Structure 1
Amino acid sequence: MQRRRFLGLAAAATTLGLTAGLSGCGSLGGDGGDVTLTLVAADYDLTGGDTTKKYWDGLVAAFQAKNPGIRIQVRVEPWTDIDRKVAELVKAGEAPDIAQIGAYADYAAAGQLYSADELLSIPVQANFLAPLVDAGEYKRTQYGLPFVASTRLLFYNKELFEKAGVDAPPTTWDELAAAAEKLDKKGVTYPFALPLGPEEAQAETMLWLLSGGGGYTDTVGRYDLDSQANIRTFGWLRDNLVAKGLTGPVAPGKLDRKSAFAAFASGKVGMLNGHPSLMRQAEKNGVTFGKVAVPGFDGREHASMGVADWIMGFKQNGHRKEIGTFLDFVFDDENVLKFAGEYDMLPVTVTASAAMQADPKAAHLREFLRTLPDSQLPPVGKTSWAQVSSSVKKEIGKAVEPGARPGDILGRLARQATAAESAE
């Protein structure tokens, strides 16, 4: 069976500057020998507010009350900047003690991170969901600690379905295409929104590869982009959705996820693949929707794609024990559930997931929770993944253009991926 691998959310608020005052980060303070840890964290507030900063402020206050010898300085940065800024700090020899960002593999490969078993207590480390542990490994050792997760489901507009005479959400590709045709006849702008534009094409691609019985990698974890299953998948998309004009007025290769989500939230999309944050966006505009497992090509429910954001401890300042003490606190169920609940994300631990599953207030997330334990993540444990992902974003939209040869596009991507992997 293919190794389970997982990948964020975008946010848009800038808070405290990252570089100012960080040159002394992680040094021993002058007040009684207390250790000061620096944490750089991503901003998840989609409204431009400061809820992420408030979360960390509250958590740090509670932690320091129990651990007066350890102080935490938090900087919150927007997703658009945080990975780059942390990379710049590390390159300058000013690594933070802890970073909560989108990727870990490059730092693990460079020997700059503590492993999970060097940081966490055994109960905490053993409590992560299995696919997230797999995805956090570099060369069979876990360095990436999953901070928050989500999965993908097929969202559909109930009102548009009713008007088009679609009685039930699709469970197969053929049913999806038939529903899209009915929606198209009723003048729906995007019968099926297929965002293969450069924003997050690698995620939409993986959803379709998995539902078609393929994936980015083979059973032993090697890149396998031009497998017969993958070529079949993109040939089907080209012939049954794109060529028939069922994906809307914007070519899939130019349609970004953000635009597709906005169109769904404004009632212009019949169906699309989405993650939990889309629910609030649609509800805010009064769109009535349903969500089901992503249809498989043969009617079976195939593994869905999951995503995870990561938190990690850097070795540079030598505060292994203090970092571990803080991260054990971060992964307390109460803290995990508070953050996940704030942003309609999924908890990363077994016990917190069970608690959310049983909570009536989280009923809207149960379908996502159900798919998480068996989800597969992108191969984020490969240092080559960033390069491969970038190539997919640039090229994959061409594979579904009318008259395109998906095998040629996927073959070129496969050769690039193999070369990148060989260079690891």
Structure 2
Amino acid sequence: MAPALAGCGSLTGGYEPDGLVLHSQLGGSTPGAPAFAAAVDTFRERHPGTPVKVLSNADDLQQVYETSKLAGKEADIVLVNLYDKSLAWTEVGATVPVNAHMKRWGLRDRVLQGPLREWTDGEGRLRGFPYLRTNWPVAFNTTLLERAGVDGIPTTVDALLSAAKKLRRKGITPVTIGGNDWSGQKLLLQIMQTYLRPAEAKEVMRTGDFSGSRGARRGIELFVELRRGGVFADSAQGLTSDLMTTQISTQKAAIASMLSSAMGKVPRSAAEHITVGGWPIPDDAVHEKPTIMRANASLGMWISPNGEQKIDRVERFIRFMYSEETVSRFVHGGRDMALRTDQFSTEYPLVAAGQKLTDNDVSEAVTPDIYVPAAATQPLIQATGVAFSPRSDARKVRTALEKAYRSAGA
């Protein structure tokens, strides 16, 4: 344990018996980081008797928190996504269930039903206080589509294949995607669901039985058809989500399936040419309209065993974060909220456009984050590169995905 702790400078002084320690994923250039920093400053001003210390980590937060928990020096409140390792935290006692606190503090009605449902595990334990959620719509650069002679945004697979050919003739990348990371994994699993009802989609993602489901097989075959039809960027298997965002922002690509937080990074010079919608579907899809995903299990506030010992201070901070004043900071900072609010961002028009999509515009596919077993998450992302590789047929894609589950013991 000593060498592990020595390598984690962020743990130094992480335990403050007389203060409140927050361990947050909202740091650096992360969308929402300025809103969080401003909120913490305001809280400090209003509660000078409650010293607040903030520890920041990005992708390695979960590992750092688990290490600090083993040392008994974990933060009081952890602000991180419900994803991968954190799926098991409440079950193993790394964090505490918050059902009773949510009820006693009268905050349940502040939360949308989707996030409440997804933050509750199979044993009925509410794992944390939902805070942020994420829309995952599709950005269409209408100016580039028009330049290629495409009439309107494609809403069907046939229209998408046709648009891809026209865009390529003009030297424009049709669909940019991070085929080498989580963004490619999400789009692959979204397309796989073309012929799957939600219950079956969840079961396939839990078990990794992509061959045993006729709907999953057909969805993967459709994915391969789109790839062979030139829909995705050349060498998509080597691209990342950051490169995808860059290509949309510089108007080098016409279409991208993007997190709303990534859309918040698109400059106005490009955003004014973009219409937000859903992923095109074939006529025989189980969905009625083009699909998007909504990640209800995005960032929330978890209470640690140390935080349970300071529950009065924890309550004070969580109430402050749930206030409409603080929520407004995040909305206008370009984030989607898991909480009820009538506000929309004026500074981030693409984020607001995604928030305004309704059942009249799009159908909702299942977001895989809480259904893919934690041990299979990273192997599945690595297998996604096989799916975007030019020579992979549908069987090879299924084999790679199923091998990812087996290698993780899932």
State whether TM-score is above 0.5. Answer: yes
Alignment CA distance shift 1:363-1:412 (3 Å): closer
Distance in 1 between residues matched to 2:365 and 2:302, nearest whole Å: 21
Aligned position for 2:306: 316
Contact 1:215 1:224 in 2 (8 A): no
After TM superposition, give the deviation of residue 151 of structure 1 in Å.
0.8
After TM superposition, give the deviation of residue 239 of structure 1 in Å.
2.3
Secondary structure of 1:141 counterpart: coil
Aligned position for 1:337: 328
After TM superposition, give the deviation of residue 400 of structure 1 in Å.
4.3
2:255 alignment partner AA: M
Aligned position for 1:43: 26
Cα deviations across residues 394-421 of structure 1 (Å, max 9, x unaligned)? 1123134344232443255346547868
Aligned position for 2:3: none
Distance in 2 between residues matched to 1:272 and 1:323, nearest whole Å: 40
Distance in 2 between residues matched to 1:398 and 1:20, nearest whole Å: 41
After TM superposition, give the deviation of residue 97 of structure 1 in Å.
0.7
Distance in 2 between residues matched to 1:319 and 1:230, nearest whole Å: 47
Moved more, 333-342 or 398-407: 398-407
Contact 1:209 1:215 in 2 (8 A): no
Out of 59, 65, 81, the position equivalent to 1:80 is 59
1:101 alignment partner AA: V
After TM superposition, give the deviation of residue 367 of structure 1 in Å.
3.4
Contact 1:138 1:381 in 2 (8 A): no
Aligned position for 1:20: 12
After TM superposition, give the deviation of residue 339 of structure 1 in Å.
1.8
Aligned position for 1:33: none
Percent of paired sites with the same residue: 15
Aligned position for 2:397: 409
CA RMSD of aligned residues (A): 3.3
Alignment CA distance shift 1:278-1:314 (3 Å): closer
Secondary structure of 1:324 counterpart: helix
Distance in 1 between residues matched to 2:151 and 2:71, nearest whole Å: 59
After TM superposition, give the deviation of residue 262 of structure 1 in Å.
0.6
Aligned position for 2:5: none
Contact 1:41 1:76 in 2 (8 A): yes
After TM superposition, give the deviation of residue 149 of structure 1 in Å.
1.6
Out of 179, 192, 198, the position equivalent to 1:196 is 179
Contact 1:238 1:401 in 2 (8 A): no
Distance in 2 between residues matched to 1:244 and 1:195, nearest whole Å: 18
Contact 1:56 1:74 in 2 (8 A): no
Distance in 2 between residues matched to 1:183 and 1:132, nearest whole Å: 38
Out of 221, 226, 238, the position equivalent to 2:224 is 238
Aligned position for 1:10: none
TM-score (norm 1): 0.79
Distance in 1 between residues matched to 2:370 and 2:31, nearest whole Å: 31
Contact 2:277 2:354 in 1 (8 A): no
Aligned ranges 1:99-110 → 2 under 5 Å: 99-103=78-82, 104-110=86-92
**1:98 and 2:84 are equivalent in the alignment:** no
Contact 1:19 1:89 in 2 (8 A): yes
Alignment gaps of 5+ in structure 2 = 1-7
Contact 2:237 2:386 in 1 (8 A): yes
Contact 1:223 1:418 in 2 (8 A): no
Aligned position for 2:150: 166
Distance in 1 between residues matched to 2:129 and 2:35, nearest whole Å: 19
Contact 1:155 1:291 in 2 (8 A): yes
Distance in 2 between residues matched to 1:138 and 1:256, nearest whole Å: 31
Moved more, 203-212 or 163-172: 203-212
Contact 1:234 1:400 in 2 (8 A): no
After TM superposition, give the deviation of residue 17 of structure 1 in Å.
5.3
Distance in 1 between residues matched to 2:408 and 2:218, nearest whole Å: 25
Out of 105, 116, 121, the position equivalent to 1:133 is 116
Alignment CA distance shift 1:53-1:275 (3 Å): closer
Aligned position for 2:339: 349
Secondary structure of 1:150 counterpart: strand
**1:175 and 2:159 are equivalent in the alignment:** yes
After TM superposition, give the deviation of residue 45 of structure 1 in Å.
4.6
Distance in 1 between residues matched to 2:129 and 2:335, nearest whole Å: 16
TM-score (norm 2): 0.82
2:302 alignment partner AA: M
Aligned position for 1:11: none
After TM superposition, give the deviation of residue 332 of structure 1 in Å.
1.3
Aligned position for 1:289: 274
Secondary structure of 2:20 counterpart: strand
After TM superposition, give the deviation of residue 268 of structure 1 in Å.
0.9
For this pair of structures, how many residues does the alignment match?
385
After TM superposition, give the deviation of residue 236 of structure 1 in Å.
1.9
Alignment CA distance shift 1:274-1:96 (3 Å): same
Aligned ranges 1:149-160 → 2 under 5 Å: 149-160=133-144
Contact 1:379 1:385 in 2 (8 A): no
After TM superposition, give the deviation of residue 281 of structure 1 in Å.
3.6
Contact 1:170 1:295 in 2 (8 A): yes
Contact 2:176 2:232 in 1 (8 A): yes
Contact 2:174 2:255 in 1 (8 A): yes
Aligned position for 1:223: 207
Secondary structure of 2:140 counterpart: strand
Alignment CA distance shift 1:295-1:123 (3 Å): farther
Secondary structure of 1:258 counterpart: helix
Alignment CA distance shift 1:43-1:53 (3 Å): same
After TM superposition, give the deviation of residue 169 of structure 1 in Å.
0.5
**1:112 and 2:73 are equivalent in the alignment:** no
Distance in 2 between residues matched to 1:262 and 1:253, nearest whole Å: 16
